[in-house]
Structure 1
């Protein structure tokens, strides 16, 4: 499994039986730089030069995750956006969260917000 595999994948409807424990999450977290498990979600903060760039990232990310039907919690500030994913229907973290985390990294890397 690679980060490219996650990027190419799409979210699936997942219930409680698909929740990942800490050991199952570790390989996914190792693939995605800067993501961490904290308070029941996987999280990362993206930084920008200004508010406009931050909002451009938020809008681009919203478009991508809406297509996946998997929506994060966002904390939007002047020059940064904290993104947190979890799968409410599963009561924890699933592969869907890592799929969308990879897509968030790709949005950032493409410079849609910079």
Structure 2
């Protein structure tokens, strides 16, 4: 099993395959605290990160934004006092792609860099 954090996102085009249930079963154990949620019929990965104050939450949001630009794959981010909720899914294919699992893993790694 390859560490998702060491992978790079691939270009995701309309028609790219969604991850299979077997891939989800392989990837989810590598993601601590991430949940598989479904909104508007679309599967997504979501996690809420806790912080001591708004400044720390905003700093983490900035790091997620920079990572997203670097990988050219962008999440929904909700920044509040003391917490940031990050939601990954691939808009073009209306569901989960391996990129979303890679980015969830890389999002977790941002905390280790702080």
TM-score (norm. length: structure 2): 0.88
What's the secondary structure of 1:44's corresponding residue? strand
The size of the alignment, in residue pairs, is: 109
Task: Kindly indicate whether residue 95 of structure 2 is the aligned counterpart of residue 92 of structure 1.
Answer: yes
Task: Kindly indicate whether residue 26 of structure 2 is the aligned counterpart of residue 35 of structure 1.
Answer: no
Runs (5+) with no aligned partner, structure 1? none
1:7 maps to what in 2? Answer: 5
What's the secondary structure of 2:61's corresponding residue? helix
RMSD in angstroms over aligned alpha carbons? 1.3
Of residues 102-111 and 50-59 in structure 1, the stretch that sits farther from structure 2 once superposed is 102-111
Structure with the largest fraction of helix: 1
4+ residue segments displaced more than 3 Å: none
The structural deviation recorded for 1:22 is 3.1
2:47 maps to what in 1? Answer: 44
What's the secondary structure of 1:18's corresponding residue? coil
1:25 maps to what in 2? Answer: 24
